[in-house]
Amino acid sequence: MSFLEVFQYSRIDSPLHRLDPRSKLVMVIVCSAASLLFLNIVPLLIVLSCLVPLIALSHSLGRWFKSMRGLIFLVAFIVIFNTLLSSVQYPFSYSIALALRLIALMTSFSLFFLTVQPDHLSQALIQMRVKFEFAFAMSMAMRYVPTLGQEAYAIMDAQKARGVELDKGNALKRIRNTVPIIVPLIIVSIRRALLIAESMESRGFGSTHKRTYMDRLYFRRSDWLVVAVSLVVLVFLVYVRFILGLPEWMLWQLPF
Amino acid sequence: MIQLEDVSFSYDGVYSALVGVSLQIDDGESVAIMGNNGAGKTTLVKHFNGLLRPDHGRVIVNGVDARRRSVAELSKEIGLVWQNPDHQLFLDTVRKEIVFGLRNLGYSAEEADARCDMVLKDLHLEELAERSPFALSGGERKRVCLASVLATEPKVLALDEPTIGQDAGQKLRLARLLQDMNRKGCTVVVVTHDIEFVIENFPRTVAMSRGRIVADGKTSSVLSDSNAIALCSLSPPQMTVAAQSMNRLFPEVSPRMTALSEVEEAIVRILGGR
């Protein structure tokens, strides 16, 4: 699961970390739109070559590489299956483009999750007029993803010690083997949710309806700049894709 | 017998959870592993049945290198009882839960049922046999987990924090059960912070701190060793505290006592008795 690492906030300082979550959200939406607009190898490589410097700007290249290494298996899976099963003219070329799109999408989203502190995310949501309870639930959900992961590992260990062989047997047996993992995971999560709810209420959660906030987010000039550039890029990409059409060399495909 | 030879392990390649740990636990021993939080106690125990494999060094279980054997194979010989019972319970009755592990380890349905009945009786869980494990209290769930491991009759029984959430009566029962198992030839290893529980029930203690073994030997000498106690951030046994304050007034009294009987004897001696 190491490819998920790129979706975890890294507590470092970088130009991207300092941006407002809202401006980063706009940027990320544009980046992922760019990855979704094209399905040819050349434009996707261009998108990626714009994204990687942004990852570098957030001082997270190491993590990104590690995640990509973890992704190799999935990418190989996508390429092999699409090559074998798809009915387009050049299936291999098409599968490579699909894999590139996956990588570009993951990289775009990771730009957001790597650099946005969970607290700031909920604050950003609140300032975007999302109700506090929902924003809080959202940031809590994010906060508990790694915890749930650890819990899953602990459960796997516990079941292995009772003779459950998770990676043995045919497909059906393997699916059946997940039951002893999933059930305790759900139970533990429900128990924890109840505990958290109780402890939150006992600390006065929801007692006042008018909240004030210690930290507030402010858009700075750099944030406006990011939003403006992102929007210009988006308009340009849409124009190229739908009205102008891609030049010949960008439509290049592998001949098989 | 479990032998660890110079075992090192790291979860993330940066922080070492175990550093050059060598340990031998003979058949029929009864050993407590103590240490501060994050000392590597649970990590150590997970090496016994191959859940974790050492980065360096070797683990030898009953004469065979553990590397060559799967967790399922090792689990037949080494039963692990976990700290959090919720990590293993997933079936709708206590009985099924106990039978599940037995069936995994290759016992026939009849054999598994027979063993289940026996262990339910041993642990006074008969009334709970048809109840859902999720409806039980924390302490009861913990005992169900213990039962599911005991049913496999492992040669080595390793328990992680078995006394947490158990009242004094249950603790006493657990202690008796472990002594019983030990008398029958089962090796018992327990990871715990409960110092009085260790003094009363375990002749040998291994003290760990920061992934290293800092003391290993007779429980009375390890737990009265103020250096080891401080390293493991344990609070010294009450009897040792009593012995130390007696030692300040009467230098002839040893400051390193852990058992009530020793302190009693010393007091009687000071008072001029036998």
A221-242 pLDDT, tens per residue? Answer: 999 999 999 999 999 999 998 9
* Residue B1 sits at the chain A interface (C-beta within 8 Å): no
The residues, any chain, with a CB within 8 Å of residue A113's CB and separated by 6 or more, are A6, A7, A8, A9
Nearest CA in chain A to B92: A183
Give the residue ranges of chain B where pLDDT is below 50.
Answer: none
User: Chain B partners of A154 at a C-beta cutoff of 8 Å?
Assistant: 82, 84, 87
| Highest mean pLDDT of the ranges A84-88, A113-117, A170-174, B54-58 | B54-58
Nearest to B156 by CA among B125, B122, B190: B190
* Residue B87 sits at the chain A interface (C-beta within 8 Å): yes
The residues, any chain, with a CB within 8 Å of residue B268's CB and separated by 6 or more, are B274
The answer to whether A19 and A125 are in contact (CB under 8 A) is no
β-partners of residue B80 are B158
- How far off is chain A from B175, nearest CA to CA, in Å? 23
SS3 content of chain B, % helix, strand, coil (to 5): 45, 20, 35
Phi then psi dihedrals of residue B71, to 5 deg: -60, -40
Q: Does A187 sit within 8 Å of B88, measured CB to CB?
A: no
Residue B165 has what pLDDT?
Answer: 80
pLDDT > 90 in chain A, percent: 36
pLDDT > 70 in chain A, percent: 99
Strands (DSSP E) along B129-211, which ranges? 156-160, 187-191, 204-209
The two tokens of residue A221 are: 């000039």
Q: Does B46 sit within 8 Å of A184, measured CB to CB?
A: no
The residues, any chain, with a CB within 8 Å of residue B53's CB and separated by 6 or more, are B47, B59, B66, B67
A14-40 pLDDT, tens per residue? Answer: 988 999 999 999 999 999 999 999 989
Q: Does A163 sit within 8 Å of B87, measured CB to CB?
A: no
pTM of the model: 0.72
Residue B160 has what pLDDT?
Answer: 92
Most A-contacting residue of B52, B88, B99 (CB-CB within 10 A), to test interface: B88
Phi then psi dihedrals of residue B181, to 5 deg: -55, -45
* Residue A185 sits at the chain B interface (C-beta within 8 Å): no
A132-183 pLDDT, tens per residue? Answer: 888 888 888 878 888 888 899 899 999 988 888 877 777 788 788 888 999 9
Give the Å distances, CA to CA, from A243 to A32, A236, A240.
20, 10, 6
B114-150 pLDDT, tens per residue? Answer: 999 999 998 888 999 999 998 998 888 989 999 999 9
User: Chain A partners of B149 at a C-beta cutoff of 8 Å?
Assistant: 162
Q: What is the ipTM of this complex?
A: 0.81
β-partners of residue B191 are B33, B160
Q: Does A187 sit within 8 Å of B90, measured CB to CB?
A: yes
For residue B80, the surrounding DSSP H or E stretch is: strand B78-81
- The 3-state DSSP class for residue B132 equals coil
Count of residues making up chain A: 256
Q: Does A161 sit within 8 Å of B80, measured CB to CB?
A: yes
**The residue to which tokens 């940066």 are assigned:** B14
